[in-house]
Structure 1
Amino acid sequence: MQNKKNKLVEIIEFTDPVCTWCWGSEPALRKLETRYGNQIKISFIMGGLVKDITAFYDHFNNIGGDPERSNSNIARHWVEASERHGMPVKSEGFRLFSKEHPSTYPQNIAYKAALMQDEVLANKFLRRIREASAAEAKQTNTTEVLVELASEIGLDASRFLNDFTSEGAQIAFEQDLATTAKYGAHGFPSFLIRYGEKEMMVRGYQRYEGFKAIISHLSEGAIREQLFMVNEGAILSFIATFGSVAPVEIQTAFDLSDQELESILISLDEKDQITRREAGNGYFIGPKVSVMACDSRTGVCQA
């Protein structure tokens, strides 16, 4: 019998890279990673939200049919969702679908292609697709944009392109679709939480407290939050670990009030330790790093 101390809690998200409530789940997932560390493993199964927008219809949000009308309604829906979950969304210039690119399946297949290269980078890539789709209004179902994003986060662009267009990535995605159907995960996000032989399925957007309760229940208290510090150093480490974070992600991970969050960000700004990048109705924070660059006018290269 396996010792409980050697077990991990697996949190498997059934998702699509452009699902707005999956985007809104990022703060809770990052809090889980911060509070539980290597006691948990978060992974993703691609569920394929929209096979073809022209044959899709969401009656509640009036999304589907004509791609351009759908884009307008999706943008409005995402902004409304952003007001609840707090993650940045850009509606200006939003154009997720077109007649030539009517599906979110390319983003799903792209993640599976990245996974063939490196799991850590694949998960960073998934996050980058979410950012680009939601907060930068990029049309992420085009090959050109996907290759650009893959290269940005350190994937080998040539290998990614080969894997993305391979039969292997398509088959891997089809296997994910079969697993999604097996568990009846028709809405995204849905989460399968597993500890040893025990597992529990929860559907829809979940807050951190819900995950915490399920982890405690499944592990019978064996998996617990780790001790953590709430100070500028810990927050700077959090930013450096993830590279690009929305303010709500810091606030959620460290249980900060609006005033506490703003005070810490102002202090880190004044010390020139962070950067801010505007994104739609919000912004992202990153660690301040030296930029190695060469000026073509002067021929001078410096950090």
Structure 2
Amino acid sequence: MAPALEVVEYTDPACPWAWGSEPKFRLLRAELAGVRWRRVFGILFDDDEDPAPDPAAEAAWYAKFIDGVTEHTGAPKPPRLCWVAKTSWPASLAAKAAEAQGETVAELVLSRLRETTFVHGTPADDTDRVLAAVEDVPGLDVEALHAAMLSDEVRQAVRADWRETRSPCPEVLDITAPGPHSGRAKHLEHHVRYALPTLTFTGPGGRFVVPGWRPLREYLDAVRAAAGDRPL
């Protein structure tokens, strides 16, 4: 029998709003134990983006942006951001590959990757930095993770995540709710994508979307609405 509820989480290891949402999502995942929860890595920093002409100035600007986000989320922030992540691909490949080693390991790997930016200020934006960040994660087979990161299977899975994130549902296209992070879809140069993080809840009661920075009660309301009359 199919599960009564499916949750899809659009995220990125380098997203400060996703970092600040971790405690809420951790609680929600615990409350929904046994429910299918699928994580989609949206690639906040893509490989084809032009490098900043002044990396130090870019890092200073982005550090101020992180400061503003943490004023709302209360999440930790680095004492100094040494650089802005050049790409989200290596961390996303590692986070996706870690899922094959179980939910507990996958959660620890993703948290470690986020900490490289938001605790240490040194984003894991290449393979060596990723592997160094996760080398002592309990229960992780680092060699297997590295091999999976290099596999066509995992790269295609993250590429599918990239495409899915850039096909947002109609509910997020014209959001007019006030900030600080309403979750309205982001209009990029060549694409439209979900704001990160965005959660969708789909079940017998229908599909309900909770995008951006929202209080825990909105996620719980969406769970109840999507589940309809069926127990979780």
Would the TM-score normalized by the shorter structure come out above 0.5? yes
CA distance in 2, matches of 1:149, 1:193: 32
Corresponding residue pairs, total: 208
Is residue 203 of structure 2 the alignment partner of residue 195 of structure 1?
Answer: yes
Equivalence map 1:1-303=2 (5 Å): 7-34=3-30, 36-38=31-33, 40-52=35-47, 54-55=49-50, 66-97=54-85, 102-153=86-137, 154-184=139-169, 185-196=193-204, 198-220=206-228, 222-223=230-231
Cα distance change, pair 79–127 in 1 and its aligned pair in 2 (3 A):
same
Deviation per CA, 1:169-223: give whole Å up to 9, x if none: 2111111112222335432111111224732223212221101111121223545
Deviation per CA, 1:114-146: give whole Å up to 9, x if none: 224434312221122112221121231122221
Displacement of 1:148 after TM fit?
2.2
**The residue matched to 1:38 in structure 2 has which SS?**
coil
CA distance in 2, matches of 1:10, 1:152: 32
Q: For residue 297 of structure 1, what is the aligned residue in structure 2?
A: none
Displacement of 1:47 after TM fit?
0.5
Q: For residue 299 of structure 1, what is the aligned residue in structure 2?
A: none
CA distance in 2, matches of 1:168, 1:118: 17
Cα distance change, pair 175–200 in 1 and its aligned pair in 2 (3 A):
same
Matched residue type, 1:13: E
Deviation per CA, 1:77-110: give whole Å up to 9, x if none: 111211110110114253234xxxx212211122
Matched residue type, 1:21: W
Deviation per CA, 1:217-268: give whole Å up to 9, x if none: 12235458xxxxxxxxxxxxxxxxxxxxxxxxxxxxxxxxxxxxxxxxxxxx
**The residue matched to 1:43 in structure 2 has which SS?**
strand
CA distance in 1, matches of 2:34, 2:149: 32
CA distance in 2, matches of 1:123, 1:8: 23
CA distance in 1, matches of 2:53, 2:45: 11
Q: For residue 181 of structure 2, what is the aligned residue in structure 1?
A: none
Query: Is this contact kept in 2: 1:54–1:66, CA < 8 A?
Result: no
Q: TM-score, normalised by structure 1?
A: 0.61
Matched residue type, 1:12: V
- Give the % identical residues: 22
Matched residue type, 2:78: K
Cα distance change, pair 197–175 in 1 and its aligned pair in 2 (3 A):
farther
Displacement of 1:15 after TM fit?
0.7
Matched residue type, 1:29: F
Matched residue type, 1:24: G
CA distance in 2, matches of 1:82, 1:72: 15
Query: Is this contact kept in 2: 1:75–1:91, CA < 8 A?
Result: no
Which structure 1 segments of 5+ residues have no match?
57-63, 225-303
**The residue matched to 1:80 in structure 2 has which SS?**
helix
Query: Is this contact kept in 2: 1:8–1:195, CA < 8 A?
Result: yes
> What stretches of structure 1 move > 6 A for 4+ residues in a row?
none
Cα distance change, pair 171–66 in 1 and its aligned pair in 2 (3 A):
farther
Deviation per CA, 1:255-288: give whole Å up to 9, x if none: xxxxxxxxxxxxxxxxxxxxxxxxxxxxxxxxxx
Matched residue type, 1:84: H
